[in-house]
């Protein structure tokens, strides 16, 4: 067992991943949390949500994972963009701890045969979880490597049987200013909205995440359900999702409406398209030394071989 600031956590020896096995020396969790990641293939267990941060049952997906060393749990959970809980990087971790993720439901509508309101358990039940170690690149020119736990977004969307009119998928975050103090300010037009083209959403790299580092997703990282699209800038990764809507036309998205000259709908990582106020040619890896942490930005965040064909013939400077 391991003593933490909140008490005693009992961890079965069979649940503990050996230090040397877990990708790199960075795998020890900071903040007093033990790494309890089961290795067997299996489905989602709703019990994990009742006792967060509970261990999740998942299998590692090496096909889509980077071999780069992941950031520490502390890096990932204390340096966040999540304006619903504040605009400073430390605000989400400080202001989201009482955020309630149970019960939770997701409404599905638009150009699909199966629509309605579904509980989180309904959404997750058919989907075995897998861990993928992905780069996350933010438009502010910083990056992390994160071991996300989730399932392919496309597998979920297919269950709703989108019609031939469904060209895009729109997502919406919970709007609850009582729980989300950042929504009391006018920094953005709430609730937060994002979207993908249907072929992007169906690409096997895109996932719905419910956890990281083998644990249930922390509130500050988007619990209970968030989107991960690793070849795009981080603001596409909408958090605390309560709505999925299939549309014929490109949906409104929060940042592309609020600052259209700075944040485009596609948001593909592109070192040749700078933000108007800073260069995107290099990035700073959070957690690295100040003297050697900058590195060249990779097209499509290093996933060009898998996704560049989605944008064949497009002017990526115009459709940024």
Residue 190, SS3?
A: coil
Domain extent for 260? 14-311
Residue ranges of the alpha helices (H) in the chain? 47-50, 73-78, 91-95, 120-124, 153-159, 198-201, 254-258, 304-307
Structure confidence by residue, pLDDT tens digits, 212-240: 999 999 999 999 999 999 999 999 999 99
CA distances from 202 to 125, 153, 158, 168, 206 (A): 19, 7, 8, 10, 7
DSSP letter string, 285-306: ETTS-TTT-EEEPPGGGGTHHH
Identify whether 9 is part of a domain: no
* Overall pTM > 0.95: no
Q: Which residues pair with 116 in a beta bridge?
A: 108
Q: What is the pLDDT of residue 54?
A: 74
pLDDT the model gives residue 52:
42
pLDDT at residue 293, rounded to an integer: 75
Q: What is the pLDDT of residue 23?
A: 33
What's the confidence (pLDDT) of residue 120? 97
Q: Does the residue 88 lie in any domain?
A: yes
Task: State the DSSP H helix or E strand holding residue 196, giving kind and residue range, or none if neither.
Answer: strand 193-197
- Please tell me the total count of domains within the chain: 1
Residue 317 in domain: no
Could you state, in chain order, the average pLDDT of each consecutive group of 10 residues for the chain (320 residues)?
39 33 30 28 37 77 96 96 98 98 97 98 95 96 97 98 98 98 97 98 98 97 98 98 98 95 96 94 85 87 98 96
CA distance linking residue 7 with residue 130, whole number of Å? 29
Contacts of 104 (CB under 8 A, 6+ apart): 119, 120, 224, 225, 242
Residue 184: inside a domain: yes
Task: Assess if residue 269 is contained within a domain.
Answer: yes
Residue 55's pLDDT is: 86
User: How does pLDDT run across 172-193, given as a tens digit for each residue?
Assistant: 999 999 999 999 999 999 999 9
Q: Is residue 166 included in any domain, yes or no?
A: yes
* Assigned domain for 5 exists: no
144-159 pLDDT tens trace: 999 999 999 999 999 9
What pLDDT was estimated at residue 24?
A: 33
Q: What is the pLDDT of residue 278?
A: 94
* Cα torsion angle, 70, 76, 82, 86, sign: negative
From the centroid of its chain, how far is CA 314? 26
**Residue 218 resides in a domain:** yes
CATH number of the domain to which 98 belongs: 3.90.420.10
Instruction: Give the C-alpha separation, 66 to 245, whole Å.
Output: 31
């Amino acid at each position: 067992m391991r003593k933490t600031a909140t008490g005693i956590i009992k961890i079965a020896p069979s649940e503990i991943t050996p230090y040397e096995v877990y990708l790199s020396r960075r795998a020890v969790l900071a903040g007093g949390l033990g790494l309890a990641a089961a290795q067997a293939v299996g489905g989602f267990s709703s019990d994990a949500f009742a006792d967060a941060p509970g261990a999740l049952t998942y299998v590692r997906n090496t096909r889509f994972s980077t071999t780069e060393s992941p950031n520490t749990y502390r890096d990932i959970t204390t340096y966040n963009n999540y304006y619903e809980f504040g605009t400073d990087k430390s605000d989400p971790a400080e202001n989201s701890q009482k955020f309630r993720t149970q019960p939770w439901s997701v409404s599905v509508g638009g150009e699909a045969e199966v629509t309605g309101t579904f509980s989180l358990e309904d959404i997750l039940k058919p989907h075995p979880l897998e861990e993928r170690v992905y780069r996350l690149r933010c438009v502010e020119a910083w990056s992390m490597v994160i071991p996300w736990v989730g399932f392919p977004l496309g597998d979920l969307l297919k269950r709703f049987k989108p019609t031939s009119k469904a060209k895009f998928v729109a997502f919406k975050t919970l709007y609850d200013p009582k729980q989300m103090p950042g929504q009391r300010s006018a920094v953005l037009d709430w609730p937060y909205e994002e979207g993908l083209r249907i072929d992007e959403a169906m690409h096997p790299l895109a996932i719905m995440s419910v956890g990281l580092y083998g644990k249930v997703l922390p509130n500050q990282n988007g619990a209970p359900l968030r989107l991960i699209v690793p070849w795009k800038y981080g603001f596409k990764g909408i958090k605390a999702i309560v709505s999925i809507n299939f549309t014929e036309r490109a949906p409104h998205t929060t940042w592309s409406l609020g600052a259209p000259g700075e944040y485009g709908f596609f948001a593909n990582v592109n070192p040749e398209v700078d933000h108007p106020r800073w260069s995107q040619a290099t990035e700073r890896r959070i957690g690295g030394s100040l003297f050697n942490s900058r590195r060249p930005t990779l097209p499509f965040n290093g996933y060009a071989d898998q996704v560049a064909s989605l944008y064949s013939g497009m002017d990526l400077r115009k459709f940024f």
